[in-house]
């Protein structure tokens, strides 16, 4: 026990003295400008990207409608064109196109930081995955939920059914198990972690964030694509729900007395999804995918640190 205590005390003092940089030395370069952990993460991202493409191509409903199913075995059944009854509605999950988009930008971000010789693997990977999470929440998720509630849930239910989900919770669950609470909490945590690691990285390299002309163009393209998505009914026939604006390929009906099983927390909720309506429309799907790509491209370009002198710094 004493030996264990001494080892623990030694490691604690070492980590406290050197900070996260201590872990960087645990992974020696395998070749010039490379490190073991980054290479393994890139291999995993390439694998995930490859699986995403296979699942998209194999989906009988079409590549852009392809979604990741739970349990994982359901995805294998889908490859063999075997129906999976618990998931009868297409798009009832995360789209494989979303997984492909984020793995591509995460892989490219690691490559870019390697190109700039930012050879602190833990700093690098934590920043990449914090940007990954921030990109998922801020540019796309927050805007998407707000527009969906505005054009569909408020006209039907009289309140923002997604943002208000979990209103009956109490205590800490009101933050951790509600949509608005958890989304805001996790976003703030990611921003704080990103900022701390970024500031620490600046002690080693003259890095800057990239809110330059390219970032502004990508942000503009995202906003234009999203506005175009809202206005699709001006030129294309769509199935509306509440209103026809900001049309979707899948609409969700909520109910107060649903006895909805929450598998994440193993509880039965008094409110939840009771019915889904699938309305395939390629124009809507193209807008969905393209806006997500621009949102992701903007966030990764802006927040991934770079050594290039022409970039201006934010923060």
Domain parsing of the chain, residue ranges: 108-303
Q: Which residues pair with 137 in a beta bridge?
A: none
Instruction: In whole angstroms, give the CA distance from residue 231 to residue 245.
Output: 6
pLDDT score of 21 more than 80: no
With residues binned 3-state (H G I as helix, E B as strand, rest as coil), the percentages for the chain, rounded to 5, are 55, 10, 35
The pLDDT, as a whole number, for residue 61 is 79
Instruction: In whole angstroms, give the CA distance from residue 38 to residue 177.
Output: 33
How far is C-alpha 80 from the chain's CA centre? Answer: 28
Q: Per residue in 230-268, pLDDT tens? A: 999 999 999 888 899 999 998 887 776 666 666 655 666
Instruction: In whole angstroms, give the CA distance from residue 210 to residue 220.
Output: 15
Task: Please give the structure tokens belonging to residue 212.
Answer: 């330059």
Backbone dihedral angles phi then psi of residue 209, each to the nearest 5 degrees: -90, 160
Q: Per residue in 195-225, pLDDT tens? A: 999 998 888 888 888 899 999 999 999 999 9
pLDDT score of 290 more than 50: yes
């Amino acid at each position: 026990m004493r030996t264990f205590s001494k080892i623990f005390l030694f490691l604690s003092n070492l980590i406290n003295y050197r900070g996260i940089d201590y872990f960087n030395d645990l992974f020696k370069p395998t070749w010039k400008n490379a490190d073991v952990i980054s290479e393994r993460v890139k291999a995993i991202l390439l694998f995930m990207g490859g699986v995403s493409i296979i699942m998209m191509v194999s989906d009988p409903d079409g590549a852009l409608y392809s979604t990741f199913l739970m349990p994982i075995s359901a995805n294998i059944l889908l490859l063999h064109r075997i129906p999976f009854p618990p998931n009868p509605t297409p798009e009832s999950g995360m789209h494989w196109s979303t997984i492909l988009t984020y793995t591509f930008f995460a892989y490219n971000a690691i490559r870019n930081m390697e190109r700039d010789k930012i050879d602190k693997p833990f700093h690098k990977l934590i920043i990449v995955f914090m940007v990954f999470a921030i990109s998922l929440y801020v540019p796309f998720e927050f805007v998407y939920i707000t527009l969906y509630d505005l054009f569909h849930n408020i006209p039907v239910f009289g309140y923002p059914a997604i943002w208000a989900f979990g209103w009956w919770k109490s205590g800490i669950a009101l933050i951790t198990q509600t949509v608005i609470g958890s989304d805001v909490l996790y976003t703030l945590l990611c921003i704080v972690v990103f900022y701390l690691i970024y500031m620490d990285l600046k002690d080693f390299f003259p890095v800057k964030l990239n809110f330059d002309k390219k970032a502004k163009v990508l942000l503009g393209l995202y906003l234009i694509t999203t506005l175009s998505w809202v206005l699709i009914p001006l030129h294309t026939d769509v199935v509306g729900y509440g209103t026809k604006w900001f049309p979707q390929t899948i609409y969700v009906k909520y109910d107060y007395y649903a006895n909805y099983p929450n598998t994440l927390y193993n509880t039965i909720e008094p409110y939840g999804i009771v019915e889904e309506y699938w309305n395939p429309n390629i124009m809507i799907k193209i807008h969905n995918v393209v806006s997500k790509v621009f949102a992701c491209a903007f966030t990764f370009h802006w927040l991934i640190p770079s050594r290039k002198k022409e970039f201006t710094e934010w923060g």
